[in-house]
Structure 1
Amino acid sequence: MITWSTRACLLPSWLTEPLWDQFAALLPPREEFDPAHPWGCHRRRDSDRIVFDKLLQVLRFGCSYEGIADTTCSATTIRTRRDEWIRLGIFAQLKQIVLDAYDRIVGLVLTDIAVDGCITKAPGGGEVAGPSPVDRRKQGMKRSVGTEGYGIPLGRVLAGANRHDSPLLAPTLDLLGELGPLPDDITAHLDSGYDSAKTRTALDERGLAGQIARKGEKAPIQVGKRWPVERTHAWHNAFNRLQRCYERVKTVVNAFFDLADAIITLRVLIRRAWTTHRWDTRPTKRP
């Protein structure tokens, strides 16, 4: 059973503490007790920090809510608080704040972007699941992820595993509009699965240049600048909740992806800023 003591081995403190500080700043103020309660003696609300750590454990280890629940927090509380935070848009805000911080301190490489799809398991089915063509038609999920030149995730489109990569390209590219002003010259790096006239039309309509691997020609992943998105898929799959997703509701899956994107981006930010910046809680050794 995973208990509260696993927080130390979940993620390093130099990563979880700033992540929690920013997350806590987004939470609305709340009384410890309900002032409208006639007796004022009902149970205290479980700590938001405990629930946040539980969600991190669910994301990292892929365990069930019942498996992660203990005397500090029940499975029902974890689900209820999760849904409350989703309604408030806190996970999406956290991801965007971390992305903006990375852009200010390090800088997003938006002249080169990469898009690719990845199929994972979805044993429970759900709104973004479909028969997997690579797993005997078992339920699976496909994510079409767009990254900048270093591999920082910019957004994703979720669909059933039976969807082809090509139709998901356009909605994935449209997520770039949420980033604000973009460079005049942007090159999209794609694998041979996107080698079609439809793909080139989609790129032309958005004013993007394309570097697309040719079908039938062997091209190592190191060719061009497509490899960062493959590394980002590996980063995502390190979170077992995303690699084997039991969530059935699309908004919940997106919330876990937003939390994972925030962790990935913050981790890269701290690692790259370690040699150029100083702060009070800076790790003693380079992460």
Structure 2
Amino acid sequence: MPALPSWLTEPLWDQFAALLPQRPQFEPTHPLGCHRRRISDRIVFDKLLQVLRFGCSYEAIADSTCSATTIRNRRDEWIRLGLFARLKRIALDAYDRVVGLVLDQIAIDGAIAKAPGGGEAARRSPVDRGKQGMKRSNMTDGYGIPLGRVLASANQYDSPLLAPTLALLEVLGPLPDEITVHLDADYDSTKSRTVLGNRRLYGQIARKGTKAPIQATQRWYIERTHAWQNAFHRLARCYERRITVIEAFFDLAVRSLIRRAWTTHRWDVRPQRRP
């Protein structure tokens, strides 16, 4: 069973393959002049997509074509080269040119994920009986397209993560003159308003103690994005211990870009139903 449909994986792989450096099929420094053939990058890439989608261990997804050690080593090699971050940047730029990011409306919110294996960003979760958990402070555009995230321990409040999350706007290039940031009641504080004011951003913040349907604001887009990302089981229940690896898997989760493009554009292999 494929992790993702071919109409999505093929263009994703074509772009990723263009970023890969040239590698010899055999190791030239081997003392005997020979060596086992290097496992195909495409095989490892497909294995990583399966780990991301199904949330299984590397040992469970390994087979005769590729071992778990090879998957981990190649993953770390690609992280050191910055390939996952570059892939995400290229996907966002292409989406902005074709569809257009809604950058005059920004939404930020935190979500807690399980982290049974612990790790750099895992601490006791206040909503899961003290088990290990991780928080992601997500930032999306006005439609819910993920622009970036800050990873932190599950026991952190949302409001202290507002400033580092807003700092991610600096890598997006030219921004509109007026930007509205939509936030829930966890950010209803003088400190949050000061952070927004220092960046000349307008805050649409829900008031504490005032109940209102989420549909009445534009915050529901980011709640939907949390659900999109949790569809990738490796993100909803994270066993990775290093933040760099977790970030790499988030950069691979580009399904939301395709879902949005499906409603506005057509292409030769476009599926008949919304992905």
TM bin, normalised by shorter chain, reads over 0.9
Compute the displacement of 1:130 (Å).
Answer: 0.9
| Counterpart AA for 1:130 | R
| Counterpart among 254, 270, 273 of residue 247 in structure 2 | 254
Q: Which residue among 103, 110, 114 is the counterpart of 1:117?
A: 110
Match of 1:228 in 2: 221
Q: CA contact under 8 A between 1:186 and 1:209: conserved in structure 2?
A: yes
Structure 2 counterpart of 1:283, one-letter code: R
Structure-1 residue corresponding to 2:206 = 213
1:117–1:143 contact (8 Å) kept in structure 2: yes
Contact 2:137 2:150 in 1 (8 A): yes
User: Distance in 1 between the 2:182 and 2:265 partners?
Assistant: 29
**Whole-Å separation in 2 of the counterparts to 1:272 and 1:102:** 13
Letter in 2 for 1:258: D
1:16 aligns with 2:3: no
Select 1:36's aligned residue among 29, 33, 36.
29
Q: How many residues align?
A: 274
Aligned to 1:3: none
Counterpart position of 1:282 = 269
CA shift, 1:38, in A, is 4.1
User: Which residue matches 1:51?
Assistant: 44
What corresponds to 1:97 in structure 2? 90
Task: Specify which of 54, 59, 83 is matched with residue 61 of structure 1.
Answer: 54
- Tell whether 2:255 aligns with 1:268: no
Equivalent-residue separation in structure 1 for 2:271 and 2:119 (angstroms): 44
For 1:274 and 1:180, the matched residues in 2 are separated by 25
Unpaired runs of 5+ in structure 1? 1-5
Query: Structure 1-normalised TM-score?
Result: 0.93
- CA 1:229–1:158 in 2, change beyond 3 Å: closer, same or farther? same
**Aligned-pair Cα RMSD in Å:** 1.2
Kept in 1: contact 2:135–2:156 (CA 8 A)? yes
- 1:184 CA drift (Å): 0.4
* Letter aligned with residue 12 of structure 1: P
Cα separation, partners in 2 of 1:284 and 1:141, compared to 1, 3 Å = closer
Residue of structure 1 in register with 2:186 after alignment:
193
* Structure 2 CA distance for partners of 1:138 and 1:213, relative to 1, 3 Å: same
Which secondary structure does the structure 1 equivalent of 2:129 belong to? coil
- In the TM superposition, residue 221 of structure 1 has moved relative to its aligned partner by 1.1
- The question of whether the paired residues in 1 share the 8 Å contact of 2:27 and 2:34 is answered with no
Q: Alpha-carbon deviation of 1:286?
A: 5.0
Name the SS of the counterpart of 1:141 in structure 2: strand
**Paired letter, 1:42:** H
TM-score with structure 2 length normalisation? 0.96
Instruction: Tell me, yes or no, if the aligned pair for 1:102 and 1:269 is still in contact at 8 Å.
Output: no
- How far apart in 2 are the matches of 1:248 and 1:284? 36
Summarize the alignment of residues 151-162 of structure 1 with structure 2, pairs less than 5 Å apart: 151-162=144-155
SS of the residue aligned with 1:67?
Answer: helix
- The partner residue of 1:145 within 138, 149, 173 is 138
- Among the aligned pairs, what percent are the same residue? 71
Match of 1:78 in 2: 71
